[in-house]
Amino acid sequence: MNALFDILLTASFWAAAVRIASPLIFATMGELICERAGVLNLGIEGIMVIGAFSGWMAVYLGMGLWGGVFVAMLAGMLFGLLHATLTVPFGLSQHVVGLGITLLATSTSYFAYRLILPEVTSPPKIEPFQAVEVPYLVDIPLLGPALFAQTALTYAAFAVVALTVLILYRTPLGLAIRAAGESPNAVAAQGLSVTRLRMGAVIVGSGLMAVGGAFLTLSAFSSFFFEMVNGRGWICIALVVFGAWRPGKALLGALLFAGFDALQIRLQQTPIGQAVPYQVFLMAPYFLSILALILMSRRAQVPSALMVPFNKGER
Amino acid sequence: MTSISSGAQDIVLRLDRITKRFGALTANDAISLDLRRGEVIALLGENGAGKTTLMNILFGQYTADEGSVQVFGKPLPPGNPRAALAAGLGMVHQHFTLADNLTVLENIQLGTVPLWRFSLKGTAARAKLARLMNDFGLRVDPDALVGSLTVGERQRVEILKALYRDARILILDEPTAVLTPQESEALFDTLRRAVKAGLSVIFISHKLHEVTALSSRVLVLRHGRLVGEVATRDTDRHALAELMVGAEVTLPSVAPGLPGPALLTLRDVTTRSMGAAPGLKSVSLALRAGQITGLAGVSGNGQSALSDLISGLLTPETGALELDFAAAAWSPRAAVAAGIARIPEDRHKTGTIADFSLTENAILETYAQAPFSRNGLMNWRAAEDHTRKLIDTYDVRCPGPSGPIRQLSGGNMQKLILGRVLELGPKIVLANQPVRGLDIGAITYVHGRLLAARDAGAAVLLISEDLDEIMGLSDVIHVMSEGRLSPEFRRGALTAAELGLWMAGQGFSDAA
C-alpha cells in the first residue's frame, strides 16, 4: 500500500499519465467527431499507424516537426476520405470498411517503410518535440510538472478537446453534426447535406487520429516501430463509449486509462512487482477500463443514427 | 380541370402536370393543382394513392420525371430541399424530422444559420420563437430536449420550425394521425390563425371529417391520378369516400354483440414500465365472449404492456390474469396453444418475417404441430396446402404461396395474418392496431372478419388510436392513459370529445 502512495505522490507519475494520455486524446476526439455524425470509424487503429509512420518519415526526410504533424494529418485525412466515400455515399458496412482501412493503412505503412529503408535493421531516430515549461504554472506542486512541463503536442491535445467542445456545442456546424448522427432526416429536411456533413466529420476525425499516431513517433519514442500503436485505436473506441459521446468525459476517460497504465509500469518495480507476474500488470489497465466502462456507460446516450447509412428519399 | 376562378396573382403554388414513376409503377400521373393565398386545400386519398410522393417532389426529396412547380410565380428547381425552403415552403412530415438529442430551440435553428458562422445567435432566435409561439398559439418549452416531449408537442415544434423559416405555404402530411381529438382541435385552431395571417395550407389526410372541417377545396387522388376537385361546401363525406375509393362504399352495419361469460380477467394487474413506455397501473379488465372490447388511447400509454401481457410476453408484477378456459399462459407458445389469436401492432416487424415465404409465415405459430411437422421433420406439402386454403378463404391477393411476404401490400399481409390466427378458432382475439395503414377496402374486410370472430363467440380486444374505429366497432370501450384503465363505457355512452378527455388523462380517480 505504501508503495502505491509513494507512486501517487511523485510528479513523474502524473507527468507520465498525461503523456501517455496525449495520443489517446487526439484519436478519441477524432473518433468522437465521426461517431457524433453517425459513422463508426474502425479504421482508427490503422490511421494511427499511418500517422505515426508518415509524420516520422517526413521529419526523417528533412521536414520540421510541425511539418511532420501536418503530413501525418494529411495522410490520415486521405484514408478518412476513402472511409467516408465507401461508408457515406455508398453506404457500405461501416464495420467491414473500417477494418479494411485498418489493414490497408497498417500494411501501407510497413510496406512504405521497407521501400524507403530497405537495408536498415534498427529504425533511425529523429529529434522529437522537447518539453516546454510554462513559466510560474510549472511550480505548482505535483500538478505543475504533470501539466505544464509537456511537449507542444500534448498542449495541442488539450486544445483540441476545448475546440471540439466549442464547435460541437456552440456553433451551427456542431449542431448540424450532432443532428446528423441522431436524425439525418431532420438535417435533410432543413436543406443541409447529410453526406457532406458526415464525410467532413470522418475526414477531419481521421486527421486527428493520425496526429494521435504521430505523437508516438514525434513526441514519445522518436522512432517508428512495427506494432507500436498496439491497440491504442481500439482503446479510443472504448473511450468514446466510456465518455458517453461527450468530449469532456472522454478526456477524463483517456486520463484515467493512461493513469492506470503509468501506475502499472511503476508497480512492476515495487516489491509487489517481484511477486506477481508482470503480465498481470500489463493487463490491469484494460481490465480496469472494462470495469469502468461497465459502470459508466449504462445510461449513455448513443447517437441514434450511428452506423445507419442515410439514403436520400428513403424513410 | 375546372378550377374555381380567381385572380392569377393570388396563386402562390402551381403544380403543372407532375409525373413520377418508380419502375413500372406511376406514383403520380400528370397532376396539376393551384393553391391560392390564404386558402386551405385538402389532398385526400388512400394509402398508396401518391399523396406523399407528390409532396416529396414539391419538397425536393424526389425529382419529378415530368412537369414543373412554380412558387410565387417563379419556377422551383427540382430535387433541392434548400431551394424549397428558401421559396417559402414548409413541410410538417408525418414522421417528424426532429433530432431527439437536441433542444427545441436547437432543432428549430438547425440549418437556419450558415454552418461556418461561429455563433448560434441564441438570443435573437429565442425572441423570434417566442413571438411565433404567441402569434400561433403553439406553446412549448424552447429548452426542453425533443426526446422528452409528447407527440403533440413534437408536432408543434415541427410547425414552429416551418414558421421560423418564414414559410408562406404549410404542407401537413397526415398531421392528426397521432393526436387526441383535443390536440387536433388545437392544431386546427393554429392552422386557422396561419390562414388569417395570409399563409396557405395543404392538408394531406385520409380522414374525411377533418378534410371537410378545415378545407375550402378537396382534391382527391387515386392510384396516382387526380380524380376529382370539389369545393368542400358542395360535397359530403359519402361522396368524397366514393371518389377516393372509386366505387360505392358500403360500411358494414354493426349489430350489437351478444356478450357471454368473461373469458379473460385481469385483477389489479401492475407491470414494470419499459423504458419510456409506462407499465400497467392496477388494471382490472374482463374480456367477454361474443363482445368486442375497444381500447382507445394515444399510443405509448400502456397498450403494448397490455398486449404483451395477453400474448404471454410479459408477466404481471402484482395482480392476476385468469383465463376461463385454460391455465394462464406465460409464454407466447402457451398463449397460442390456449387459443389466443394475436394480430400484432407492427405487421412488418413482429407480425411477419419479411424474407420468409407466405407458407413459412402462415405456419409461424403452428409449425411444430401436426400436420406441418411430424417426427421432427417439416411437411412442407401440408404447409403449402394450408397456405393455399388461407389465400383463397381470406382473399389474399398474391402471386402464390412461395414468394416472400415482403412483396405483399399491407392489406394482403394483414389478411394472411388474420387467416393464420382465425383459422385456429381462437377463444380470444387480440387485435392491436389491426387496420393501421390499410386502405378502405382492406379496413372493411378486416373489420368484417373481427365481427365474424365475435359472432362466433370469441372475445375480441381491439386496441386502436383511431376513435372512429373504436366507436364504430366496439360493444364496450375502455380508455388507457399512462398505464391506467378507465371504467367500462357502453357503446355510444360517450362522445368522441368525452373520450378525448379520458385519453388526455382526465377523469381518472388518481389523476395527478
Domains of chain B, residue spans: 11-245, 258-339+427-512, 351-424
CB contact under 8 A, B101 and A172: no
B92 at A interface, C-beta within 8 A: no
Residue B175 CB contacts under 8 Å (≥ 6 apart), including other chains: B92, B94, B155, B187, B203, B204, B205
What separation, in Å, do the N-terminal and C-terminal C-alpha atoms of chain A show?
A: 59
pLDDT at position B243 is 83
CB contact under 8 A, A191 and B82: yes
pLDDT at position A314 is 45
Q: Which residues of A218-253 are buried (b: 16+ CB within 10 A; e: fewer)?
A: bbbbbbbeeebbeebbebbbbbbbbbbbbbebbbbb
Residue among B110, B116, B117 minimizing CB distance to A190 = B110
Which residues, in sequence order, are bridge partners of residue B97? none
pLDDT category at B511 given cuts 50, 70, 90 is very low
Chain B CA closest to residue A188? B81
Residue ranges of chain A with per-residue pLDDT less than 50: 313-315
Percent of chain B with pLDDT over 90: 49
Residues of A with Cβ-Cβ distance to B84 under 8 angstroms: 191
Which residues, in sequence order, are bridge partners of residue B476? B293, B490
Bin B425: left if φ > 0, else alpha if -120 < ψ < 50, else beta. Answer: left
Please count the other Cβ atoms lying within 10 Å of the Cβ belonging to residue A125.
13
- Three-class secondary structure of residue B315 per DSSP: coil
CB contact under 8 A, A313 and B56: yes
Helices (H), A171-219: 172-182, 184-189, 194-215
Q: Is the pLDDT of residue B217 over 80?
A: yes
pLDDT at position B4 is 45
Q: What is the pLDDT of residues B101-113, one digit of tens each?
A: 999 999 999 988 8
> Above 0.85 for ipTM, yes or no?
no
Residue among A176, A178, A191 minimizing CB distance to B85 = A191
Asked whether A148 and A140 are in contact (CB, 8 A), the reply is: yes
Asked whether A24 and A232 are in contact (CB, 8 A), the reply is: yes
- The distance of A166 to chain B (nearest Cα, Å) reads 9
Note which residues in 64-83 of chain B have CB less than 8 A from chain A.
Answer: 80-83
Q: Cα separation of A104 and B243, whole Å?
A: 61
User: Is-cis flag, bond preceding B371, omega within 30?
Assistant: yes
Q: Cα separation of B219 and B239, whole Å?
A: 13
pLDDT category at B252 given cuts 50, 70, 90 is low
pLDDT category at B179 given cuts 50, 70, 90 is confident
Would you say the C-alpha torsion A203, A208, A211, A213 has a positive or negative sign?
A: negative
Chain A CA closest to residue B55? A313
Q: Cα separation of B128 and B164, whole Å?
A: 7
- Three-class secondary structure of residue A34 per DSSP: helix
- Identify which of A199-208, A237-246, B66-75, B469-478 has the greatest average pLDDT: A199-208
C-alpha cell at B321: 390474469
A37 at B interface, C-beta within 8 A: no
Q: Where are the beta strands (DSSP E) in A75-198?
A: 131-133, 149-151
pLDDT at position B512 is 41
Asked whether B96 and B158 are in contact (CB, 8 A), the reply is: yes
Closest by CA to A162, choosing from A29, A12, A20, is A29
CB contact under 8 A, A191 and B109: no
B509 at A interface, C-beta within 8 A: no
pTM for this one? Answer: 0.81
Closest by CA to A194, choosing from A97, A32, A95, A309, is A309
Asked whether B34 and B14 are in contact (CB, 8 A), the reply is: yes
Q: Is the pLDDT of residue B436 over 60?
A: yes
Bin B496: left if φ > 0, else alpha if -120 < ψ < 50, else beta. Answer: alpha
Write out the CATH class of domain B258-339+427-512.
alpha beta
Helices (H), B352-489: 358-362, 380-393, 410-422, 440-455, 467-473
pLDDT at position B388 is 95
Q: What is the pLDDT of residues B346-374, one digit of tens each?
A: 888 888 998 899 999 999 998 988 889 98
Q: Is the pLDDT of residue B49 over 50?
A: yes
Higher pLDDT, A269 or B252: A269
Q: What values do phi and psi take at B331, rounded to 5? A: -140, 155
Chain A CA closest to residue B98? A186
Cα dist. B433→A186, B241, B342, B347, B353 in Å? 27, 22, 11, 10, 18
Chain A CA closest to residue B95? A315
Residues of B with Cβ-Cβ distance to A176 under 8 angstroms: 110-111, 115
Closest by CA to B97, choosing from B42, B180, B171, is B171
Count how many residues are written for chain B: 512
Can you tell me the mean pLDDT for B274-282? Answer: 81
pLDDT averaged over chain B? Answer: 88
Q: Is the pLDDT of residue B473 over 80?
A: yes
Closest by CA to B188, choosing from B138, B236, B146, is B138
Q: A232-242 and A44-60 helices cross at what angle (nearest 10)?
A: 130
pLDDT at position B492 is 86
Residues of A with Cβ-Cβ distance to B167 under 8 angstroms: none
> Which residue, among A165, A185, A190, A195, would best test binding to B if mutated, counting the most B CBs under 10 Å from its CB?
A190
The residue with cell 515549461 is A133
Q: What is the pLDDT of residues B29-42, one digit of tens each?
A: 999 999 999 999 99
pLDDT category at B509 given cuts 50, 70, 90 is confident
Q: Is the pLDDT of residue B154 over 50?
A: yes
- Three-class secondary structure of residue B373 per DSSP: strand
Residue among A172, A185, A303 minimizing CB distance to B97 = A185
Can you tell me the mean pLDDT for B446-469? Answer: 92
Chain B CA closest to residue A311? B61
> Which residue, among A175, A198, A199, A310, would best test binding to B if mutated, counting the most B CBs under 10 Å from its CB?
A175
A182 at B interface, C-beta within 8 A: yes
What is the CATH architecture of B11-245? 3-Layer(aba) Sandwich (3.40)
CB contact under 8 A, A192 and B111: yes
Can you tell me the mean pLDDT for B248-253? Answer: 66
pLDDT at position A1 is 63
